[in-house]
Amino acid sequence: MESAWNTYRNFLDNAPPHQVTQDLRNLFVPEDLITELIKRHEAESTVFVTLKEPLGVGRENSVKWYAGPRSDDKNWPAFKAHLSRSLDEEAIEKINDSSDKVVAMLDHPATTRFSSKGLVVGHVQSGKTSNFTAVIAKAADRGYRMFIVLSGIHNALRRQTQARLIRDVVNLNPTLWHQITKLEHDFMPLPNPAALLTARDQHLLLVVKKNAVVLRKLKNWLSSAKAHLQNCPVLLIDDEADQATIATKNINPLIADVIASLPRVCYLGYTATPFANLLADPDGGDFYPRDFILSLPRSKAYQGPETLFGRAPLDGENPETVPGGLDMIREIPENEVGKLRPAKKADAANFAPEITPSLRDAVLWFWLATAARRVRSGKVQHSSMLVHAHSDTRVHDSYGPPLEAFRLSILNEVLDGDTNLSHELRMLWQTETDRVPADLMAEKHVPVEDLIETLPAVIADTKVIMDHYRSTDRLDYESGPATVIAVGGNTLSRGLTLEGLVVSVFVRSSDVYDTLLQMGRWFGYRPGYSDLPRIYMPAQMRRWFAHLATVEAEMRTEIDRLLEEHKTPLELAVRIRCHPKMRVTAPSKQKAAVRAAAAYGGALVESRYFLVAPEAQAVEWLNTNEQAVHALLRSASEQGKYESIDSGKSLWRGVSTDHVVEFVERYNFHAMNTDAPNGLITAYIKKRHNRGGLYSWNVAVVGNRPRDDRDTVTLPDGKKVAPIIRTRTAASRDDDVADIRTLTGPRDEGIDLSIAPDSSVNRTVLKQTRAEQQPERGLVLLYPIDASSAPESSFDAGDDKRRRGRDRAPLAAPGRVVWGAALVFPEPSRGDDVLVEYDYLAADLSKVFPTATDEEPEDLSVLELDQDSTDGAPAS
């Protein structure tokens, strides 16, 4: 063997694995020798794995030891074959590719000692478990021996994870695995750990709750086998890594102790809401991802935050390509919210919910949508509705009687052929399918007559389930197809999957990024019914989720930026955008975070959100903006040099910075414009101006050519311009705040530049041209918008515009004109840009903060209890 190795060593050290395999076979080298040579080649060479999607961060200087599955692997091929029974080839290949990237970032299991920390950022309800199952299978094939999965804080999620790993890994190769935890119970210390740890032909699987009593047992058991752990590479997977792991006085130290007892361990956190992890103390005891971060991909079929709620364009993005949100969000009026949740916690004990009009519509739509699914598929499937109103279990229980009474009432009316109900159901189906047509989502239209026939069976099958730690009648998807209305809180808000979720009623009061996103059980894949999901929530909550969609997209872009710059998370921290009324994570989890500094050089800031109701407030708000615009235009016409661009557009050059500052201080950028807080913009302009930059501004009005006097707006200098059309997103149709997504046109930013009319431009070209032609001169763009602004209504059936048209709604603002504004900042012409404290948080990489010891206030107050037989979500 050694002779063969010496003969081929030089060749192996310089050849990729696929060439090694093929060339050795061409030489008729025995198969077992080929396998041995390749194993040694992978262990000793420095072959780099190409990192495509998902993008990875860190480990730039480590030896990349994993180059993908091999022919002698056992666990991954079995899992892959198992996946092929339910997934198509493309989906399996995505799991294969993304798990390859994760395994490639782990430490080589043959390394004498290692202890690393990484983070995998997934999407809510989007296959994190499938990914880490594939990672377990591949890591086991290459030498990792013990796999510890920390699976949430509730029994239900631990059981669900254990069951999936038994099905997808253990049962596919039962002779290769030993389960230390069982489906029916959490970790219990086994005698003689040495025998388990020294059996090289078996892998060990532990699925453990993040519970103090259980983790203490695990720590002590590992400590008792310390002498035998040196030869046992461990992969510790922390599912829901932002929950309980970060900044808790009981759980955090115990997990750290478990890791400290393992001489060869890679800690791998998985979460879809990594805010707490990214803001953890890099030098403290928290689990900051010091070594690497990976971002998992998602397919186009995934209905995530930006798909459902829309988001703002990121810097450099074409607004036309940014999701505006599907028209699936239904507003619960403020006067109904108090009837669906108690106003304060003290009222929870005596709270009695009502079947409000919104809740009635939601339940009726759930039955119609479930009937449509049965008609489409020809069979009964899991179908769920979620009611998430409060964290207190007494509130959950209070929903049982009215929902069950409503179910029986509607069932009797359907069986009796009640004409009023029949008309209501038909109108509801017609209205909803007009707003989200089946064909636009590539689904099959179902005639309402087919639904009416199926409806009695659907309503009769429906069970109302209160799912919380005290309830005995829990969600059960293992005993056959379930049609359920599930009322719950903490036990349904993280990790646990509601099968076939169609309708969600969400009035839970929370203002924390990660908590809200995890409560969004409606995110995920909806095969065969992608047109049917509906979410009922207050308008403010919808706006918050739209903000979160932008935060999430921007955060993933930040991860990409780190990769492109070849930085580790210890060298460059990921920034997270803040919100004036929301918290990024629990205060105890962001003690080590610092406010990031940023600048506006090269940026385009535009008004996107406009207050349009209630009318009295909206009129005052919009009038203030109009007054600010007119004051700036009067100053521009008095001081600036006028230049006519074309009919409908005017430009004044050389307006003083003082007048622009006065305008920004007066103009209302809505609070949802988180990149445009007035105080931050004025602070930046003043600071840069005081340093000799931004010495003057150009001011432009961008309107349409007037057709007659009836549709014109008169500017302060007497010029007339016709308003432009800017519709709102359909998702904000019923909201007091209209979201127009984008204000500026693709060439507007260059209105004061010399650019050939037929030339192709983008933001990069425009910024470069501005630096050449207008250094240190900013641009203010003002837009008179038709207050009624209705979307185009007729498009060809096959045109993409048809869908975009469906995604828009009338602006419907009071008055005749709404004034929009955009600010274009040139790149600094000399030196670095000035910095102002910005509404972003990031981990502090320069200072050491003491480890946070506060406990999570809601879910974690009972984690000291032994939860082997009882869930631990208390009433709060």
Place 574 in a pLDDT band, splitting at 50, 70 and 90: confident
The top-scoring range by mean pLDDT among 563-577, 702-716, 826-840 is 702-716
Contact indicator for 539, 735 with CB cutoff of 8 Å: yes
Supply the pLDDT for residue 395.
92
pLDDT category of residue 39 using cuts at 50, 70 and 90: low
Per the rule left: phi > 0, alpha: psi between -120 and 50, beta: everything else, 304 is beta
pLDDT, greater one: 838 or 105: 105
Confidence of residue 5 (pLDDT cuts 50, 70, 90): very low
pLDDT of amino acid 547: 86
Residue-level pLDDT at 728: 92
Answer yes or no: is pLDDT of 726 > 60. Answer: yes
User: What is the CA angle 852-856-859, rounded to 5?
Assistant: 160
What's the confidence (pLDDT) of residue 30?
A: 63
Q: Which residue has the higher pLDDT, 471 or 460?
A: 460
pLDDT band at 509 (very low <50, low <70, confident <90, very high): confident
As a whole number, mean pLDDT of residues 23-32 equals: 56
- The percent of residues in the chain predicted with pLDDT above 70, rounded, is 84
Q: Which has the closest alpha carbon to 722: 740, 732, 710, 738?
A: 710
Answer with the residue of higher pLDDT: 661 or 17: 661
pLDDT in tens, 661-703: 999 999 999 877 766 666 788 989 999 999 889 999 999 999 9
Q: What is the pLDDT of residue 99?
A: 93
What is the C-alpha to C-alpha distance for residues 503 and 731, in angstroms, rounded to an integer? 16
pLDDT for the residue 49 = 39
Residues whose CB falls within 8 Å of the CB of residue 128, separated by 6 or more in sequence, listed in order: 120, 122, 239, 270, 271, 272, 296
Spatial distance between the Cα atoms of 154 and 164, rounded to a whole number of angstroms: 16
pLDDT in tens, 821-866: 999 999 998 888 877 766 677 776 654 333 333 323 333 333 333 3
Count of all residues that appear for the chain in the document = 876
At 340 the three-state DSSP class reads helix
Instruction: Classify residue 35 by its DSSP letter.
Output: H
Cis peptide before 54 (omega within 30 of 0): yes
Report CA-CA distances (Å) from 65 to 108, 178, 265: 6, 26, 16
Q: pLDDT, tens digit, for every residue of 777-821?
A: 999 999 999 999 998 754 444 444 445 556 789 999 999 999 999
**Confidence (pLDDT) at 874:** 28
**Model pLDDT, residue 707:** 80
Q: How much of the chain exceeds pLDDT 90, in percent?
A: 47
| Tokens of residue 498, six digits | 């509601």
Residue 25 has pLDDT above 60, yes or no: no
- What pLDDT, on the 0 to 100 scale, is given for residue 637? 94
**Which fold, 73-291+587-595+842-876?**
Rossmann fold (3.40.50)
Q: What is the pLDDT of residue 795?
A: 43
pLDDT grade, residue 157 (50/70/90)? confident
CA distance 373 to 376: 5
Residue 648 has pLDDT above 80, yes or no: yes
Structure-block tokens of residue 622: 């919009």
Cα separations in angstroms, 396 against 61, 86, 390: 52, 35, 7
Q: Do 535 and 605 touch, CB atoms closer than 8 A? A: no
Say whether pLDDT at 462 is over 70.
yes
Lowest-confidence range among 18-22, 232-236, 377-381, 594-598?
18-22
Q: What is the arithmetic mean of pLDDT over 97-122?
A: 92
Tell me what pLDDT residue 607 has: 93
Note the pLDDT tens digit of each residue in 486-500: 998 777 766 567 899
Is 798 in contact with 842 (CB distance < 8 Å)? no
Structure-model confidence comparison of residues 667 and 45, the more confident one: 667
Does 106 score more than 70 pLDDT?
A: yes
Which of left, alpha, beta for 346 (phi over 0: left; psi -120 to 50: alpha)? alpha
Angle at 386 between CA 385 and CA 390, to 5 degrees: 160
**Cis peptide, bond prior to residue 614, ω within 30 of zero:** yes
Q: Which residues contact 419 (CB under 8 A, 6 or more apart)?
A: none
Q: Which of 52-61, 327-336, 354-363 is the least confident region?
A: 52-61
User: Which sequence spans correspond to the domains of the chain?
Assistant: 1-50, 73-291+587-595+842-876, 305-546, 604-834
Q: For 207-246, what is each residue's pLDDT tens digit?
A: 999 999 999 999 999 988 888 898 899 999 999 888 888 8
CA distance 780 to 748: 10
Q: What is the mean pLDDT of residues 388-396?
A: 90
Averaged pLDDT for residues 128-145: 95
Please give the model's pTM, rounded to 2 decimal places: 0.71
C-alpha to C-alpha distances, 420 to 237, 402, 446, 453, 864, nearest whole angstrom: 55, 21, 21, 17, 55
Task: For residues 58 and 118, give the distance between their C-alpha atoms in angstroms, rounded to a whole number.
Answer: 9
How confident is residue 139, by pLDDT bands cut at 50, 70 and 90? very high
Query: Per-residue pLDDT tens for 513-551?
Result: 777 777 778 888 898 999 999 999 998 888 888 888 888
What's the confidence (pLDDT) of residue 644?
A: 81
- Structure tokens, 745: 């046109």
Mean pLDDT of the chain: 83
Nearest Cα neighbor of 376 from 325, 438, 464 is 438
310 pLDDT higher than 70? yes
Average pLDDT over residues 419-443: 94
Return the pLDDT at 59.
Answer: 66
State residue 199's pLDDT score: 76
Tens of pLDDT along 341-364?
Answer: 998 888 988 999 999 999 999 999
As a whole number of angstroms, the distance between CA 387 and CA 147 comes to: 36
Q: How confident is the model at residue 88 (pLDDT cuts 50, 70, 90)?
A: confident
Q: What's the pLDDT at 567?
A: 73
pLDDT score recorded for residue 751: 94
